Structure 1
Amino acid sequence: MSHASQFDLLKTRRFLPLFGTQFLGAFNDNLFKFAMIALITFSGLRVGGMDSHTLVNAAAGIFILPFFLFSATSGQLAEAMDKAVLARRIKILEIAIMLIAAVGFLGGNALLLLCCLFLMGVHSALFGPLKYSILPQYLNERELLGGNGLIEMGTFVAILLGQIGGTLIMEKVEGGAWVISVACILVAVLGYFASRAMPAAPPTAGKLTINWNIFTETWRIIAHARGNRTVFHSLMGISWFWFFGAVYLTQLPIYAKDVLGGTADVYILLIALFSVGVGSGSMLCERLSGRKVEIGLVPFGSIGLSLFGIDLFFATPSHAAGAAIGFLPFISDPVHWRLMADITLIGVFGGFFIVPLYALIQLKSEPEYRSRVIAANNILNSCFMVVAAAASILILKAGASIPQLLLIVAIMNIAVATYVYLLQPEFLMRFLVWLATHTMYRVKHIELDHIPDEGACVLVCNHVSFMDALVIGGAVRRPVRFVMDHRIFKVPVLNFIFRTAGAIPIASAKEDAAMKERAFYKVEEYLANGELVCIFPEGRLTADGQMNPFKAGIEEIIARSPVPVVPMALRGLWGSFFSRKDGAAMLKFPRRAWSKVDLVAGKPVPAGQVTAADLQQRVQALLDQPAP
């Protein structure tokens, strides 16, 4: 069952317990980790002669190490077991770890706390593949983007609250060791009870034989992911975001203290702005994409990451204040407003960037390999984060300042994004479609559920403007293969979109009989593969706003490939810059922006009942329907 809003998922048992389990787990990870860091930093704890600064830096590596060691195994376990049962066992492990951690906090034992940090890394590595691969089992395709958005939002909010809570308890609360011990155990217990409410999620590869050799299995799952170009490029995109984010988040404490001259409160403000930004961007994805997995948001996100990353450099004051500045003076000074906005928007566009990629991986991965693909993602993310740390050290040692380091990474993002979109041009194509259909038009979707979610089908629609294919392609949840006049196919810029989308140019038999025959063969091939094909049976744009007669080509297509036909109608495009009202299209001054456009679909027509005349009547009836 679909819901009107992604927030409605929080009212369902198939999502809320998972959300609560993930939220509490991410919160506890950071509550424990930052409490431990505060204890080491301010109590001067030592291990093996290492000072507090060395221990704090070692802690980051200790937490990441289990993702290298155990992700491959955790991906297999999530395939071979009921994921809800596995979640409960992982939560029992978390309770045990927190009981040991309590001994470390109360005894001031840094070595024991570092061991617990490693074990919490194991806990997170085990839960990571499960939390993403279980979503397609709980949610349908239209809910998937919203569900991922909620998970990402909840994760970043939990991380933020855990960081603040762990630090403040150890710094500000008397008897902080007791308080943090009780809090960590209590959160772990609550996480266990949340996991007990998760519905069953049967194994997707129940007969899988677990390969306990982490090295061979790690190589195997990464090699498998590389076999699917779309999935692998999505994994690399997510990993690059964690490279980008790791650099920014790692440098924020020094940026706040040494560059901005702020206190710890200023650092907390900056990390809060970034986290709230990611959460907000994640939540907005569903609204911006029309409740479908819209990969066009990915280039939009990468543009924002670079744009506001570069602007942050120019928004940073050239000299820090003489005395340490606190929270209220910092936010009261207008000189800081621009950089606060930049950090927030970097987070927002980061959400636009990663949420569609996670959803795309879930959709495009085979169900029996999905958890292992997510495990491969965790391994790659960890590698990129380690490389980010090494690159930051080298760039800073070369003499760059913190603002210059952040600028370099923002510029690197342009190069990486360009390379990825050259490898996977569909991302850029979908972005251009999304941009065109969300800036020039307000498209209302009416009865598009008549279009089947899977299987071969032909869509027929009236032909009003050069933008018809983009509007339809941006509205329909599935990829659509368009058959279009070869002259429209060759229009600059649009040609890139049409070629990338697998559109089929066609000409009349008089113009080019060979091209026409090739087009029919290509349509037959697409339909044999179970795809959606859309044609404009008029064969040309309307010159007066009224439909031209439907040609018999649709009947020949259905005779060759007997599949259902869904009639559709575009309303509101007549008179636009791309239509032929008052002269040739695209040669008159645009008179309207963000126009209201309706795309309405009718009930499917069985193959045996298809005629050109009947389809024209059905499309006309849709055009004549009053707007809702």
Structure 2
Amino acid sequence: MITRKKEIWDNILALSLFWSISQVVLAIFGQYAKTYLHITNTIYVQGSMALAGFGIVLGSILAAKLSRYYINAGIALLGAMGVTLITFLVPHLGSIEIIAPLFLLFGVFSGFILVPLSANIQHLSPNAHLGTILAGNNFIQNIFMILFLMLTTFFAYFGMDAKMLFVLMGFVGVVLFWLLAKRYSVLFVWTLFELLASLRYKVVYKGLENIPQEKAVLLLGNHVSWLDWLFLQIPLRRRINFLMDKEIYHWPLLHPVLKAGEVIPLSPRGFKDAMKEAVRRLQKGHIVAIFPEGEITRNCEINPFHKGFELIDSFEWDGVLVPFYIDGMQGSIFARCKDGRKKPLFRREVHVCFFTPQSKGISALELEQFIKRKRYEC
């Protein structure tokens, strides 16, 4: 039952490895502190380890915030990276004052692993088998923890160095990272993009319920900055297939990334081929995004929409056409226009609205007028 869905099994295995690492680290730290840090006062040792508990609470809150749109399993990869690095780092430090904050960070990264993976297991499990899968999850985790506890006992019995166990657990962390990277590397990259964007932008979304979970979606809307693609993608777990100018697509530094992101190159000569490729993606149930203006606006207004996307409507595909509007990037360093607004001192607020689906036969002029009318609701 547990192995029927590979993703569920990978999540259970990852959680089992994490709990095993945590148990061993907490079990050997007391002896490590006594031997290498020369600390015999248990208050310092227990207090340092207790910080991991506070860290888990903090990490869980942050993980929930980063998963506010969907279960973001990419956070778990970030957590695995942090846990692994800290496990490798601790045996090379000689001060409890430095190690104690690291235990707090260890807890934060632990929360990044626990919250999305536990939620994902429940989300992916059929309701009829949820209890069985959760019971199996706990059973497997306990088996791993017992095996790793036996390993700790084996090391202690033969008087082996605690530092060696830290290093060994670091390599187990590498296995954990590799296991998650195989499945969630793309989500991890988008998580990093979201974290970087959140430092400067507060993005407010409206109308996310208009984006279906499984159907094909054709997104059409205004183009105000170089970051529009990022703002559209952040709240959606499904990857968006963007149409992009062929010259930009072939920039040497960007091309490998854009190709991996399944971007569709667009040029005047290859226009029909690009549209046909967009249709093929839609027929497979993907999300395709087009900026009908053809370029980033230079006057902060919605420019006339080109009719090219209308070619898509001449083909059969099962899905919805969803208009969108992006507001708030006018005048920013990533825009081409200056609107005279006072630049915010700290975070810039950006609004992204997904409007109700429109008829597939809508013309470029009708779509342009529709978005111009609805943008004031954004």
TM-score tier (shorter): 0.7 to 0.9
Structure 1: distance between partners of 2:32 and 2:347: 45
Q: Which one-letter code corresponds to 2:130 in the other structure?
A: R
Q: Which one-letter code corresponds to 1:618 in the other structure?
A: F
Matched, 1:555 2:310: yes
In percent, how many aligned pairs have the same letter? 24
Matched with 1:146 is none
Matched with 1:524 is 283
Kept in 1, the 8 Å contact 2:75–2:188? The answer is: no
Provide TM-score, normalisation by structure 2: 0.81
Distance change >3 Å, CA 445–CA 303, structure 1 → 2: same
Q: Which one-letter code corresponds to 1:561 in the other structure?
A: W
Mapping 1:234-245, distance limit 5 Å: 234-245=11-22
Matched with 1:297 is 75
Matched, 1:569 2:325: yes
Structure 2: distance between partners of 1:452 and 1:314: 50
Question: Which of these two proteins has the greater Rg computed from alpha carbons?
Answer: 1
Find the residue that maps to 2:270 and give its secondary structure: helix
Out of 604, 608, 618, the residue aligned to residue 356 of structure 2 is 604
Structure 2: distance between partners of 1:413 and 1:342: 16
Q: Which one-letter code corresponds to 1:617 in the other structure?
A: Q
Q: Which one-letter code corresponds to 2:17 in the other structure?
A: W
Kept in 2, the 8 Å contact 1:270–1:340? The answer is: yes
- The superposition leaves residues 263-322 of structure 1 with CA deviations (integer Å, 9 ceiling, x where unpaired) of 4434442342222211221122222333532223222212322343344334433xxxxx
- Unaligned runs of 5+ residues in structure 1 are 1-220, 318-335, 583-590
Matched with 2:101 is 341
Find the residue that maps to 2:296 and give its secondary structure: coil
In terms of fraction of residues, the more helix-rich structure is 1
Q: By how many angstroms is 1:256 displaced?
A: 5.0
Matched, 1:448 2:208: yes
Find the residue that maps to 2:306 and give its secondary structure: coil
Q: Which one-letter code corresponds to 1:549 in the other structure?
A: P
User: Whose relative contact order is higher, 1 or 2, with alpha carbons under 8 Å and at least 6 apart?
Assistant: 2
Distance change >3 Å, CA 624–CA 454, structure 1 → 2: same
Kept in 1, the 8 Å contact 2:224–2:330? The answer is: yes
Distance change >3 Å, CA 268–CA 597, structure 1 → 2: same
Kept in 2, the 8 Å contact 1:465–1:541? The answer is: yes
- The superposition leaves residues 129-150 of structure 1 with CA deviations (integer Å, 9 ceiling, x where unpaired) of xxxxxxxxxxxxxxxxxxxxxx
Kept in 1, the 8 Å contact 2:220–2:291? The answer is: yes
Out of 481, 484, 499, the residue aligned to residue 240 of structure 2 is 481
Find the residue that maps to 2:31 and give its secondary structure: helix
Matched, 1:618 2:370: yes
Matched, 1:283 2:46: no
Q: By how many angstroms is 1:341 displaced?
A: 0.9
Mapping 1:192-271, distance limit 5 Å: 221-226=1-6, 230-260=7-37, 261-271=39-49
Out of 537, 540, 545, the residue aligned to residue 292 of structure 2 is 537
Q: By how many angstroms is 1:345 displaced?
A: 1.2
Q: Which one-letter code corresponds to 1:620 in the other structure?
A: K
Find the residue that maps to 2:234 and give its secondary structure: helix
Q: By how many angstroms is 1:348 displaced?
A: 1.1
Q: Which one-letter code corresponds to 2:101 in the other structure?
A: A
Q: Which one-letter code corresponds to 1:366 in the other structure?
A: P
Q: By how many angstroms is 1:343 displaced?
A: 0.8
Q: By how many angstroms is 1:242 displaced?
A: 1.2
Distance change >3 Å, CA 360–CA 274, structure 1 → 2: same
Q: Which one-letter code corresponds to 1:473 in the other structure?
A: Q
Distance change >3 Å, CA 276–CA 451, structure 1 → 2: same
Distance change >3 Å, CA 262–CA 248, structure 1 → 2: same
Structure 2: distance between partners of 1:593 and 1:430: 26
Matched with 1:438 is 198
Structure 1: distance between partners of 2:360 and 2:277: 24
Find the residue that maps to 2:351 and give its secondary structure: strand
Q: Which one-letter code corresponds to 2:4 in the other structure?
A: H
Structure 2: distance between partners of 1:350 and 1:492: 38
Matched with 2:145 is 385
Q: Which one-letter code corresponds to 2:281 in the other structure?
A: K
Kept in 2, the 8 Å contact 1:432–1:497? The answer is: no
In terms of fraction of residues, the more strand-rich structure is 2
Kept in 2, the 8 Å contact 1:253–1:267? The answer is: yes
Q: Once superposed, what is the RMSD of the aligned Cα atoms?
A: 3.5
Distance change >3 Å, CA 564–CA 222, structure 1 → 2: closer
Distance change >3 Å, CA 397–CA 518, structure 1 → 2: farther
Out of 121, 125, 130, the residue aligned to residue 370 of structure 1 is 130
